[in-house]
Amino acid sequence: MAHDPQDIARHFMEAIPHARDLNMAILEIGEGRCTIEMPYDEKLIGDPRSGVVHGGAVSALMDTCSGAAVMCHPDNPAGTATLDLRIDYMRPATPGQTIRAEAECYHVTRSVAFVRARALDDDRDRPVATATGAFIVEQGKRP
């Protein structure tokens, strides 16, 4: 019996320990698109003087969101794993603000899915970071 790709992507994200530890939550998911938020938390601060969230937390958010976008793409027959993720950090996230990642899986081949993503705080006109990635597409049937 096939499961809904959106449910599979949700379970994928919920099963990742760091996603739980970083309090990530899916806001929207479907048809190769995903938005996940990560609330500001003092334990994520990379620079105590400025209060800015560490880039590694932003990277984990963007990778998780991108993987979830691949998982819910209608042309992805099964699971995924990150092959390559290039992140360009544009500016520090504003201390105290929730960071949201938005990802789109825009192309899927037999073996690779391609994704674009952005990380945003309250200033949606100026991304915190942008990313492009390639993800393995597992061949096989969905559970």
3-class DSSP string for the chain:
CCCCHHHHHHHHHHCCHHHHHCCCEEEEEECCEEEEEECCCHHHEEECCCCEECHHHHHHHHHHHHHHHHHCCCCCCCCEEEEEEEEEECCCCCCCCCEEEEEEEEEECCCEEEEEEEEECCCCCCCCEEEEEEEEECCCCCC
Domains: count for the chain: 1
Range of the domain at 48: 5-137
pLDDT in tens, 64-101: 999 999 988 888 766 789 999 999 999 999 999 999 99
Q: What is the pTM of this model?
A: 0.89
**The domain spanning residue 60 has which CATH number?**
3.10.129.10
The confidence score (pLDDT) of residue 1 equals 36
